[in-house]
Structure 1
Amino acid sequence: MLRLDVEFPSEGSKCSAWLYLPESQNPPPIIVMAHGLGSVRGMRLDAYAERFSELGYACLVFDYRHFGDSEGMPRQLLDVKKQLQDWKAAIAYARTHKGVNGRRVILWGTSFSGGHVLSTAADDLHIAAVVSQCPFTDGVASSKGVDPKTSLKISGKAIKDLVGSWVGAAPVMIPTAGPPGSVAMMTAHDCESGYLQLVPTDSVKSFPNYVAARIALKIMAYAPGRKTPKIICPVLFCLCETDTVAPYEASYYHARKAPRGEIKIYAEGHFDIYVGSAFERVIQDQIEFIQRVVPLN
């Protein structure tokens, strides 16, 4: 297995990525992967990619613009439209790379990107398969778990950030994950500890646990789950029953509408399936699905 540091263009900026190339006589299918809300590829995506690559699949694991090692100013700007553009750019790069089979592209997304892959696959009829892990499918459903007083405070910061962006002011930042009752994007009891456990040990002190607040004004309107009826390729939905970020009920409702959807349900919470025994269960289900619907030969 070979892991290369690569870059690809997206709307005039460069996205940084890891390209995993397994030893293979024939160009392998490629799995395109990215993380969730405010996260970067180093937050356990390598654990998934290594397992897929060991089986013989290529993987392209990228950071969105404005995050991680990718270009884009201001930093920590979370924008749905831009991230969907980055997905299209990553797929275009994968399809033209000589070392892989560009006609057999699989999308893998988790949390916020679990919604992005649904939206992307609905618009791209040539995607071979999708894995959507604890997906964000409905902004309204996710917002119901936030205390109204907290929502009001977040909205105030978001409006200030948006208005400031019109005159070139520095972004108003808000924590991505914080303790219950704090003003942060995710504040359920398991969010701060669950989110930060994914950060590599040597990066914890320097990790930017914040995003530009303006995303809070758009996130409620984002409902990628509504596109599931339009996805024609096989889709594996990995849903967590006690998910405090992407509510299980909403995700299950949308997953059932995918024509070729398959649903796996786990008793864990949103951040549990990245580590430990829960990770082992979910990765085995994903491996079985990928090998069955997009075999190497």
Structure 2
Amino acid sequence: MVMGHGGSGTKRLGLPKYAERFAAQGMAALAFDYRRFGESEGEPRQVIDVAAQHEDYRAAVRFVRGYPGVDPERVALWGTSLSGGHVLAVAAADPRLKAVVSQVPLIDGWHRGRNLRQRLNGDVAARTLAFIVAAVRDMLNARRGRPPYLVPVIAKRGKVAVFTEPEASTAFEALGGEPVGWRNELAPRFLFALPRYRKGTAERLTMPVLMCLGDQDLQASSRYAARIASGMPNVQIRHYPVGHFDVYLDPLFDEISTTQADFLREHLCTPPLHGTS
């Protein structure tokens, strides 16, 4: 099981809870940090590069396929939020993968969870404009060879940050926050390079796919994700009446991680020989 986090997330920010749940079902789990984040190398720090993160997934898959004791034909991908979209793109080009789990996926940066009325809300519009200004400043720094202009990932309302919703702060803190190696800062230039869905990708995923969606998700459109999933020939879609960050926390975490572990065990684990336990 190859696992990458979403957005600014690092491998120790909540992923061990999922990995332990999967390992308890007899699967090996590898969680990794993208280049420029966490314990991985790469400069400049805290800069999201979608194409590079796809390659980091592929590098992790190559690693586990060559790891002693791992069956190279029984490797699966797990992703959440931004990486929930990554795993679909990576799997579309690697039919050897045995299964995919995509959790509250951001598949296309133009399809967020807020509807038009919510986006036109004065507070939301003001925060969006302020973030665009920060992203432009960061892009200018990049073109001039200067260090990234970083903004907080989470902050209180009124600040320029990726997330200012109270539930985001609650989730990041509950998952460990900065003490586990995650940094509360990010280069906002990613706004201009969010992933775009390429038509025909879903149809190429022939392996079993489990997609877990939050129907109250304001960060990634669950409706759009379900529409993309409908093009996959072998997909299970699970809907939950929650927001984007609720999937990481109890009480939903236990339910959703158990569902994922059961799905992965079915498709990754070798059935026991007759007469053995």
* TM-score (ref. length: structure 2): 0.88
Distance change >3 Å, CA 224–CA 288, structure 1 → 2: farther
Aligned twin of 1:49: 19
Establish whether residue 228 from structure 1 lines up as the match of residue 202 from structure 2. Answer: yes
Question: Are the equivalent residues in 2 in contact too, given 1:225–1:254 (CA < 8 A)?
Answer: no
Q: Quote how far apart the aligned CAs of 1:224 are.
A: 6.7
SS in 2 for 1:142: coil
Question: Are the equivalent residues in 2 in contact too, given 1:178–1:184 (CA < 8 A)?
Answer: yes
Aligned twin of 1:263: 237
Where does structure 2 lack aligned partners over 5 or more consecutive residues?
272-277
Q: Quote how far apart the aligned CAs of 1:150 are.
A: 2.3
d(CA) in 2 for partners of 1:143, 1:269 = 9
Structure 1, 148-157 or 162-171: larger mean CA deviation: 148-157
Aligned twin of 1:37: 7
d(CA) in 2 for partners of 1:225, 1:153 = 32
Q: Quote how far apart the aligned CAs of 1:203 are.
A: 0.7
Question: Are the equivalent residues in 2 in contact too, given 1:52–1:58 (CA < 8 A)?
Answer: yes
Residues 46-95 of structure 1 show CA distances to partners (whole Å, capped at 9, x for unaligned) of 01111111221111110111111111111111111111110111111111
Question: Are the equivalent residues in 2 in contact too, given 1:139–1:222 (CA < 8 A)?
Answer: yes
d(CA) in 2 for partners of 1:169, 1:151 = 24
SS in 1 for 2:2: strand
Aligned twin of 1:217: 192
* Match for residue 292 of structure 1 among 255, 266, 269: 266
d(CA) in 1 for partners of 2:199, 2:26 = 30
Residue type of the partner of 1:203? P
SS in 2 for 1:242: coil
SS in 2 for 1:138: coil
Return the structure number with greater relative CO, CA threshold 8 A, min gap 6. Answer: 2
SS in 1 for 2:236: strand
Question: Are the equivalent residues in 2 in contact too, given 1:133–1:239 (CA < 8 A)?
Answer: yes
Where does structure 1 lack aligned partners over 5 or more consecutive residues?
1-30
d(CA) in 2 for partners of 1:37, 1:177 = 12
Question: Are the equivalent residues in 1 in contact too, given 2:112–2:219 (CA < 8 A)?
Answer: yes
Residues 156-206 of structure 1 show CA distances to partners (whole Å, capped at 9, x for unaligned) of 221221221122201001222233453222334522322332225x717x7
Residues 232-272 of structure 1 show CA distances to partners (whole Å, capped at 9, x for unaligned) of 11100011111121122122211222111101111222111
Distance change >3 Å, CA 225–CA 278, structure 1 → 2: farther
Establish whether residue 279 from structure 1 lines up as the match of residue 249 from structure 2. Answer: no
Structure 1, 174-183 or 36-45: larger mean CA deviation: 174-183
Aligned pairs (5 A) from 1:104-123? 104-123=74-93
CA RMSD between the two structures: 2.1
d(CA) in 1 for partners of 2:113, 2:211 = 21
Distance change >3 Å, CA 271–CA 98, structure 1 → 2: same
Structure 1, 90-99 or 206-215: larger mean CA deviation: 206-215
Identity %: 35
d(CA) in 1 for partners of 2:136, 2:264 = 42
* Match for residue 240 of structure 1 among 201, 211, 214: 214
Question: Are the equivalent residues in 1 in contact too, given 2:98–2:268 (CA < 8 A)?
Answer: yes
Aligned twin of 2:172: 195
Aligned twin of 1:93: 63
Q: Quote how far apart the aligned CAs of 1:148 are.
A: 2.8
Residue type of the partner of 2:31? V
> Higher strand fraction: Structure 1 or Structure 2?
1
Residues 136-168 of structure 1 show CA distances to partners (whole Å, capped at 9, x for unaligned) of 122112275652332222222212212211222
Structure 1, 158-167 or 85-94: larger mean CA deviation: 158-167
Number of equivalenced pairs: 264
* TM-score (ref. length: structure 1): 0.82
d(CA) in 1 for partners of 2:158, 2:101 = 33
